[in-house]
Amino acid sequence: MSEPLLKVRDLTVSYLIKGERGRAADNVSFDLHAGERLGIVGESGSGKSTLALALMRLHKPPARIEAGSAVLDGTDLLTLEGEALRRFRWSQISMIPQGAMNSLNPVMRIGVLMADPIRAHEKGWSGDRIRARVAETLESVGLNRSVADLYPHELSGGMKQRVCIALAIILKPKLIVADEPTSALDVVVQRKVIETLKDVQKQIGAGLIMIGHDMGLMAQSVDRLAVMYAGRLVENAPIRRFFRDPLHPYSQLLISSLPSPDEVREMKGIPGAQPSLFKLPSGCAFHPRCPAVQPRCKVEEPLSRSITAERDVACHLVSPETADV
């Protein structure tokens, strides 16, 4: 297989609050190939947003990258500094932040908003060339080019979210990180926005990391799914495999707790609650909620390991021998 676009290895991001340390990302490793879409799901407080921000180097204290590397096309994102980092962001790796559609500058026309990053990165471009790129990008996200003359308040939620997508792809980055890109949208608009996002990502051939909590949405959006629990990636698998045969007990419970719109089933939640990152249980962080818990799980932390060539699981009960793959 070809060299991955993004190689994240042992990324550890921790929060230090009042002398206590909590790891929002604990030795996270994964690969992303060009053109591939990776979903990262987790409950609130699992560290998924921190992970996204750390990849963009937009994490704020008290969060701190402790260790690890994230190599995008030969460049380690985690060692870039100053001007190099500024140039790299947006042109190589861009982000659709959570709630972005509500933070568009209300006094700037969309066209001006979108021209900004071009001006900052491409000094030599003429006004006409910039305008052409803005119009072309707007059309690629399914908006009319005349939207460039409007102000954010003149747009609906779905249109605003598309402007945010257009902003993220305007410099044709190699990697897009989208944090809950549809969280405030109704289902009908949500679907349209996701389809647009998939579309433009294919067009520019970028890799996409989509952070979210809605498993249904993930099933419709991504090629691979990584599940995060208490700062750790517990499973990372191709999307079909994942839903057909989830291996980690947490993945299994997540899937079985999903309500279906098509049939009435007995609803099963997961007992207990996700632990605080500052007070993790010993051993496997999931063991107090795990239905298949073994004595070993309480003392020894399971490491993520390859079950097949394209599937990683962090669970003592799953090994290449036991997995039916």
Q: Which residues bind another protein (CB under 8 A)?
A: 17-18, 43-44, 62, 154-156, 158-159, 186-192, 194-195, 213-221, 239-240, 243, 253-255, 257-265, 267-270, 273-274
What's the CA gap between 179 and 227, in Å, rounded?
Answer: 15
Q: Name the residue nearer to another protein (CB basis): 72 or 210.
A: 210
State in angstroms the smallest separation of the CB of 79 from another protein.
Answer: 27
Q: Name the residue nearer to another protein (CB basis): 166 or 218.
A: 218
State in angstroms the smallest separation of the CB of 6 from another protein.
Answer: 22
- Could you tell me where the beta strands, DSSP code E, fall in 215-258? 224-229, 232-238
- Could you tell me where the beta strands, DSSP code E, fall in the chain? 6-17, 20-32, 37-41, 63-72, 75-76, 93-96, 175-179, 207-212, 224-229, 232-238, 305-308, 311-313
And the tokens for 132?
Answer: 């052409």
Nearest to 11 by CA among 84, 66, 87: 66
Q: Name the residue nearer to another protein (CB basis): 172 or 213.
A: 213
* Distances from the Cα of 63 to the Cα of 12, 50, 57, 195, 315, angstroms: 10, 8, 11, 33, 27
State in angstroms the smallest separation of the CB of 19 from another protein.
Answer: 11
State in angstroms the smallest separation of the CB of 133 from another protein.
Answer: 23
Q: Name the residue nearer to another protein (CB basis): 108 or 255.
A: 255
State in angstroms the smallest separation of the CB of 227 from another protein.
Answer: 11
And the tokens for 57?
Answer: 């180097």
Q: Name the residue nearer to another protein (CB basis): 54 or 72.
A: 54
